Structure 1
Amino acid sequence: MEISDWRKKIDELDEQIVRLINQRAEAARAIGELKRVSDLPVYEPRREQIVFDHVRSVNAGPLADAEIQHVYERIIDVMRTLQRRDA
């Protein structure tokens, strides 16, 4: 494949990733609402560690586990901000 073909593939993958991130945001927003009515904290370090452990366990590469976790740290940070913003 040529560079332009790879870039087209990346664009298509990015579109899928954006849809999935937004689906994850909807789930996080719903959880945030449940936390609010149950008077639970937005920040749950134990749950975040479970997520990190899970994504590392399903990671088949080529990214290293630490790199996958770094991506998810940022995703979770954004989701936490969304939950606080919608509070």
Structure 2
Amino acid sequence: MGDTGRAPYARPPTTPSTPVTPPTGADPMPRLALYALVVCLLATTAAVVAFVRGEIWLGVVWVLLAGLSSNMAWYYQRRAKAAGRAGAS
């Protein structure tokens, strides 16, 4: 859009063995696992409330969402552990 006067961001050189992290230094994978776990817990709570109120079909939908989000949490946590092991060696 225009020249801000700052030097352009230069990415550091990476090799296939070093993981690429955002410029902030944050590692997004454990955060995604945490978000998926929170969604799983909320969906489980919503399923229990739906079943207690007698809304069977809505409860089933919440159970399916809880299953999906728990699989996502497991996947992202496993991916973070694998990245940690690859970075340590």
Name the TM-score, length of structure 2 as normaliser. Answer: 0.42
Greater gyration radius:
2
The structure in which a higher percent of residues are helix is 1
Name the TM-score, length of structure 1 as normaliser. Answer: 0.43
